[in-house]
Each structure stands twice: as C-alpha cells, then as structure tokens.
Amino acid sequence: MKTVLILSDTHGNRRGIDKLDDIMGETDFIIHLGDTSADGAYIAAKHPEKTVIINGNCDPVKLGQNETVLEIEGVKIFAAHGHLYSVKTKLTPLAERAQELGCDIALYGHSHKPREDRIENVTLINPGTLSAYSNKSYCYLVINDGKFTHKIVETT
C-alpha cells in the first residue's frame, strides 16, 4: 500500500503547506500540481525523495515538469497542471490524454476548485487549492495492488 498527498495552486501559501508537514512526513509520495512550482521546490527541500513537481501557468521559473506519468502499485497516474488542456471549460481533452497514455487517474489543478469526475476509464481529480482564492483543500490518495481510493480534504 502506498499513499499520495496531492496539492495544487498553493500560490505561495507556505503557512498552509507547513500545516501539512505531518501528513507529508508519513506519505510515500507528494505531488504538487503547479502554481507555484517554487512551493513544490519548498516541499522537495524537505522531502526530496518523494516529491514530484509540475509546472503551472503562473510559474515564471519552471522548476518541475509540464506533465508526467507515474506508476504506483500498478496504478498509472497522469499529472498536469491543466491549463494546457483547458480544464476550466472542459475535461475531455485531459481525459483523452490520460487514456492515450494508459492511465487510470488524471490529476490536475488550475481551476482552484476541488473536483472528482470519471470519463470513460479515467478518474479525474482536482485537489483544489491551498491559496486564498477559494476554500482550501488537498487530496489524499491510497493505492494498493492496482486499486485506489481518494478523499478531498478541506483544511483551514
């Protein structure tokens, strides 16, 4: 069994990130989906072996990847910020890209709104934001032997 903490759109809210230190310490992977990748680097400085950084549209300095595919416990995960797939207006392009790559999950941010959707065989998850733009939230994902479950968690 592996656990994943998924964050997006932290926009410099280091206090909000620091509130998750205990969870970051116990999870197997941390994925920061951009805006700001410098926040991802801040997390990676504490947890370099388990942090994945994705670049967002508000990242003047690109410290991560634009997108990536991870395989954890037999589950393939596509991670992107979402702006290149127009996720504020439609999710189909993101789901199609994840399907092309053979992924079970597509993680994205950009809209600042937590969402869970299913298109075809792909589960799409937006963890929301830790910034002041909306209610603060993140996603906790548990993967075990090819199966997964997740929870979007609201925080202060």
Mean pLDDT of 74-82: 98
The string of pLDDT tens digits covering residues 54-67 is 999 999 888 999 99
* Helical H segments across the chain, by residue range: 14-18, 21-26, 37-46, 92-100
Q: What percent of the chain has pLDDT over 70?
A: 100
Tokens of 9: 């759109």
CB atoms within 10 A of CB 152: 16
pLDDT at 8: 97
Domain span at residue 49 reads 2-154
In the predicted model, is pLDDT for residue 97 greater than 90?
A: yes
Q: How many helices (H) and strands (E) does the chain have?
A: 4, 10
For residue range 118-141, what is the model confidence (pLDDT) as tens digits? 999 999 999 999 987 778 999 999
Q: What pLDDT does residue 114 have?
A: 97
Query: For the domain that residue 146 is a member of, what is the CATH number?
Result: 3.60.21.10
- The CA–CA distances, whole Å, from 135 to 21, 22, 103, 138 equal 19, 21, 29, 10
Q: Note the pLDDT of residue 141.
A: 98
The whole-number pLDDT of residue 142 equals: 98
Total count of domains within the chain: 1
With 90 as the cut, is the pLDDT of residue 154 above it? yes
Query: Which residue's entry shows tokens 């993101």?
Result: 94
The reported pTM is 0.96
